[in-house]
Structure 1
Amino acid sequence: MGASLGRDTSIERHRDLIATVTDRASGGARSIVLPESALGFWTPTVERLWVRALQATDATVIAGAEVIDAGGYDNVLIAISGDAARLLYRERMPVPGSMWQPWRPLLGASGGARAHFFSNPVVTVAGGRIAPLICYEQLIVWPVLQSMLQEPDVIIAVGNGWWTKGTSIVAIQRASTQAWARLFDKPVVFSFNT
């Protein structure tokens, strides 16, 4: 979906994504993973829309979103089913400089992504323990090792690489994550927007 994914926050875009998800669920998919930022800003309205739409399915959707407040934002994964939605994972290591800007509070400014370095290395969803890795986390050692110490069942790797067109960045992320998965003998699920 290119640059529009996560930036087109219209009800029509959400309905299109929901239609895709419910189509896969009607085909038997029980867990569906959408890329980083797929849902855009996570709000109570978006939550209600998705939960209501999934009530007729047995599917659980894991999708990227942003949770914003006055101090900045969190790059997150949300778990959504027909029963409820919950914040599943907060990114431990956003991209330094472009996302994570720890100097901003020192200068009296707000904004930027927060880093949750030691939080949630493994989370439970749909009866399984997953090691979530959002984008940049797939390229650095700390998040992977921290997660593998917790013995996850599967690695979930999401990203939004539309802006890297013409480069090998997404291929490098995939290769890095596949190498970690092989090293620790874990299955891996990828969901990238390119």
Structure 2
Amino acid sequence: MSEKESSNKKELPVILNGQFFKPDGKCVLCVNKTIKFDENSTGNLHKHLKRVHPNSYASYEAMKSKVAKKEENKLSEPKQANFFCFQSSSQLNNKICDYIIAEMLLNCKFELEVLAYLNDLDKNVTSLHKYKRNLNVFLKFNTVLPSSAPVERIFSCGGQILTPKRNRLGDHVFETLVMLKKTIN
């Protein structure tokens, strides 16, 4: 079917969806009874369904209201860009080239900064402040991991000083003895 035929063809009313009536007007609930109707008006179909099949008419009304709500939701939703709407190849090539150039410039700036840092004659850690990106990398990968070993050594030293014979030492004297022993060793 061509595009012109599909655009000229109207959508079938809900009542002709095949659950109650076939598109040619045959009633599915009766034994193939055909109801005459006009393309612009389906009033005869509604009358037949309401008179002959009242229970089915209630379910038809419920289905019709669901379809109407879906249509309202479609109209109220903001239209999104069509996923399959492709750009021309020249536009796409330009965007790709712009992206690649931007990435290369960013990488080049970083590489140039690294090379400048490595060629710098000042090898102190304070020279990193001239090179911000290098400083961030340095701080991320060269941070000292916290350790409890020095504190454990001081507690061990305190255990050697505070013996049962020295249990009457005051806080100030005990602290002074621990600091003296650690600074001497």
Give the TM interval when normalised to the shorter protein: under 0.3
Larger radius of gyration: 2
Higher helix share: 2
Alignment TM-score, normalising by the size of structure 2: 0.18
Q: Which has the higher contact order (CA 8 A, sep 6+)?
A: 1
